[in-house]
A and B are shown apart, each in its own frame.
Chain A
Amino acid sequence: MSHVRYFYVWIALLVLTAITVTTAGLNVGRVGIIVVLVIAATKSTMVLLWFMHLRSEKRLLLKLLVPIAIATLAIFIGLTYTDILTR
């Protein structure tokens, strides 16, 4: 296993950062929040898979943990929205 892959991931992260900063400056309206969140999610996934070694993780439990956390948060936020957005 070589350490070069870590540099590739780092470059990718910096590129994605540049993209998200530029997009924000373009004033794309409501789509903007979705784009930045998708890019942030992509960056985080790369950190999780390569820097935090989830890609080579064998235990199913550990690979499921972050999806479980995201799902939990999504439910909490989603159900709270049913109140906040309909008042």
Chain B
Amino acid sequence: MELEARDQKVFSRVGMWLFLLSEILIFGGLFLVYAMYRAKHPADFHAASMELSRFDGTLNTTILLTSSLTAVLAIFSLQELNKPRRAALYLAATIGFGFAFLVVKAFEWGAKFQHGLYPRAAELGTRPHGEILYFGLYFTMTGLHALHVIIGMVVLSVMLAWVLGKKVTQQRSAVLENAGLYWHLVDIIWIFLFPLFYLIS
């Protein structure tokens, strides 16, 4: 009759996936706004996207994809191989990649600020509507995404501490799995953000 007798691990996975669903719908609302304005201003969106650095975007994509690899390897190391120290190393690598992502993003944003291409900037105000909307969406969506990267890094740091402190072990790894799921979702969102903002032909 006790809750412990039921599979707590299963509950937490179901609950986590439902939470990820709500996150998909949050970004989904922004993708909806993007879809509408791109349909109305296709040329402006293309012109505005030329202001972004495809190199930086590709670099960040590569960073996040690799961080997804290290994240799943961290879980594998703990669950399948029972090597907590190796798991901790992979977790640290994931966090490091997250940090690298944010550094690149900070440079990108800095470049936009320098060129006056941010909301309410004078230079942006001289551009056509489609470009103003593009940059409004760019900062909103990459900003919200970066916030989720930060949250993910915090969560993974806590996981790192718990793995080292033996609070998360091979037998009790549900919370680590869930943290991994969250990080992968952050990666998936970027997989869509990248072409939508950087690869408009």
Contacts and interface: CB of A to CB of B under 8 A. Distances in A.
Interface string B1-41: 00000000010011001101100110010011001100110
Contact of B191 (A1, A40, A85): A40
Nearest to B72: A51
Given A28-B201, A73-B25, A84 B39 contact: yes
B201 A26 contact: yes
B65 interface: yes
B53 to A, nearest CB: 12
Interface in A6-20: 6-7, 9-10, 13-14, 17, 20
A48 B188 contact: yes
Given A17-B65, A47-B191, A65-B18, A27 B24 contact: no
For the complex, would chain A's binding face be called helix, strand, loop or mixed by DSSP majority?
Answer: helix
B54 interface: yes
For the complex, would chain B's binding face be called helix, strand, loop or mixed by DSSP majority?
Answer: helix
A76 B13 CA distance: 27
A1 B68 CA distance: 18
Q: Looking at chain B, what size class is its interface with the partner chain?
A: 35 or more
Interface residues of A, number: 46
B73 interface: yes
B82 to A, nearest CB: 13
Nearest to B81: A3
A52 B76 contact: no
B147 interface: no
Contacts of A21: 54, 58, 199
Contacts of A81: 35-36, 39
A77 B21 contact: no
Nearest to A26: B201
Given A24-B195, A29-B201, A77-B31, 16 more contacts: A3-B80, A10-B68, A20-B199, A23-B201, A24-B54, A32-B200, A32-B201, A33-B201, A47-B188, A51-B68, A51-B184, A59-B14, A73-B24, A73-B31, A73-B32, A77-B32
20 contacts: A7-B69, A13-B65, A14-B65, A21-B58, A24-B54, A32-B200, A36-B195, A37-B195, A40-B194, A50-B72, A51-B69, A51-B71, A52-B180, A52-B181, A65-B18, A66-B21, A68-B21, A73-B28, A77-B31, A85-B39
